Amino acid sequence: RGCRRLVLGLVGKLKRVLLWLLVVYVSIPVIIKLCPSIQAKLVFLNFVRLPYFIDLKRPLDQGLNHTHNFYLEPETGLKIGVWHTVPAQMWREAQGKQGDWYDSMLTSTHPLILYLHGNAGTRGGDHRVQLYKVLSSLGYHVVAFDYRGWGDSDGSPSEGGMTSDALFIYDWLKQRLDTKTPIYIWGHSLGTGVATNLVRRLCDRGSPPGALILESPFTNIREEAKSHPFSMVYRYLPGFDWIFLDAITANNIRFASDENVNHISCPVLILHAEDDSVVPFHLGKKLYNMASQSKSLSGHKVQFVPFSSSLAYKHKFIYRSPELPNILRYEHECCS
């Protein structure tokens, strides 16, 4: 009798847990449909600030002892935080220097990479910092910033705002660089959508960058959202597009890189790990196939570099590749 009571008790608890899971499962689509702004927050994840307790005013704390933190105003009353890391060979000279010195170094002949990070976290995220170090060691200036609504930048996130901030920073840099110094645009994950938006606008006005580098890119936000692991439990639910994807579109979020590549006219390099579970490899490959057939990219080098699953680079560790210096050197030589 005691065992039977125990079994019945466990069965009852299991039923209650399953009922609660069912309620949660059904509630999430209903809430998102009623409040589509929630879906926008899930796309941007700007409220997830990892690592916590980092002081973005002190890049030195992250091992960047040749990096200057400063703030710019893309719009009146709206400040965004920026880091400028000089090439590693300048690190000794950089010690104790202020903003004027860093500005003056932009006139050097070293090429510059404008880095556009993905969702969640800040410009001080660990994998981002590690990439800055790699690029700096290869002789690049690296400029990274937090879009409005991220990190210690003011404002609220939107696709239009992210693209405007990137364009503002690009123009600010262009005014300070030597006319012969190339700027390369590097986007990662969600930042690849910002990057193609930016480069499309630059090409439309007749001033393309030196090259566009896309790390772990997708075709457009709807296809990425449908492929994301978070959507797995709802992917085959009737009305998935109507409930989840239409909510993204309702927030004017498109990040249509597949359309943008038809308006881009500069060299394009795509880097993607086969074991990327956040932005599936097939989306990066699909974007490459579209870019390689684009009329606007005809005559420009379009390259796709895959990284084997055995390397375990996943979504954000391509910076660890010992081949990366050679890949970028070859890209730079082709663009020079």
Please identify every residue annotated as catalytic: 189, 276, 315
Asked whether the CA dihedral 68, 209, 321, 216 is positive or negative, the reply is: positive
Report the distance separating Cα 323 and Cα 336, nearest Å: 20
DSSP conformation class of 317: -
Query: In whole angstroms, what is the distance from residue 73 CA to residue 85 CA?
Result: 20
As a 3-state breakdown, the chain gives helix, strand, coil percent values, each rounded to 5, of: 50, 15, 35
332 phi and psi, to 5 degrees? -65, -40
Which stretches does DSSP call E strand in the chain? Answer: 67-75, 78-85, 112-116, 141-145, 183-188, 211-215, 268-273, 302-307
- Is-contact 84 177, C-beta < 8 A? no
From residue 221, give the alpha-carbon distance in Å to each of 35, 123, 162, 198: 19, 22, 15, 16
User: What is the number of residues in the chain?
Assistant: 336
Burial class of residue 259 (count of CB atoms within 10 Å of its CB; 0-12, 13-18, 19+): middle
The phi and psi torsions of 121 (rounded to 5 degrees) equal 70, -165
**DSSP string across 131-170:** HHHHHHHTT-EEEEEPPTTSTT--S---HHHHHHHHHHHH
